[in-house]
């Protein structure tokens, strides 16, 4: 019976250590995400894909900031910050046109989204 308790404690200890490592990696990744301002006075449509033919899933209020997890090419949009074919992934299955996001660049500022 004593050996079973030791094994349980060892398993719990190893599991706890693994969870600490996973938690640290998640915290490190979350800390590296940068938020960008949406164009002033704009209520930005969020779509379920990188283009104007995709459905609108929600609308961001004026004064919003968005994270950019990855970027991908899509429909060309003319907006507050010029014309762009870059679409920003701001959440799982949610995209906004980069033409309305102040990234300070006309190009990619994040990794390309996986296909």
pLDDT at 32: 77
Q: What is the pTM of this model?
A: 0.73
Q: Across all residues in the chain, what is the average pLDDT?
A: 81
Q: Distance (Å, rounded) from C-alpha 15 to C-alpha 7?
A: 12
State both tokens at 18: 């693994």
Q: Domain limits at 61?
A: 35-102
Same domain membership, residue 61 and residue 19: no
Q: How far apart are CA 111 and CA 69, in angstroms?
A: 8
Please give the share of the chain, as a percent, with pLDDT higher than 70: 73
State the CATH number of the domain containing residue 96: 2.30.30
Could you give the number of structural domains in the chain? 2
Residue 24 lies in a domain: yes
**Per-residue pLDDT tens digits for 34-54:** 999 999 999 999 999 999 999
Domain membership flag for residue 60: yes
Question: Is residue 115 domain-resident?
Answer: no
pLDDT digits (tens, 9 = 90+) for 85-101: 999 999 999 999 999 99
Q: Which of 74, 71, 56, 57 is nearest to 101 (CA)?
A: 71
Residue-level pLDDT at 30: 52
- Domain match, 46 and 95 both: yes
């Amino acid at each position: 019976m004593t050996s079973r308790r030791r094994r349980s404690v060892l398993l719990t200890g190893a599991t706890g250590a693994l969870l600490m490592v996973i938690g640290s990696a998640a915290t490190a990744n979350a800390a590296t995400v940068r938020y960008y301002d949406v164009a002033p006075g704009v209520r930005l449509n969020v779509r379920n894909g990188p283009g104007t033919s995709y459905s609108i899933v929600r609308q961001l209020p004026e004064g919003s900031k968005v994270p950019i997890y990855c970027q991908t090419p899509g429909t060309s949009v003319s907006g507050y910050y010029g014309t762009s074919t870059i679409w920003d992934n701001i959440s799982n299955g949610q995209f906004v046109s980069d033409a309305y996001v102040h990234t300070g660049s006309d190009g990619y500022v994040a990794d390309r989204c996986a296909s």
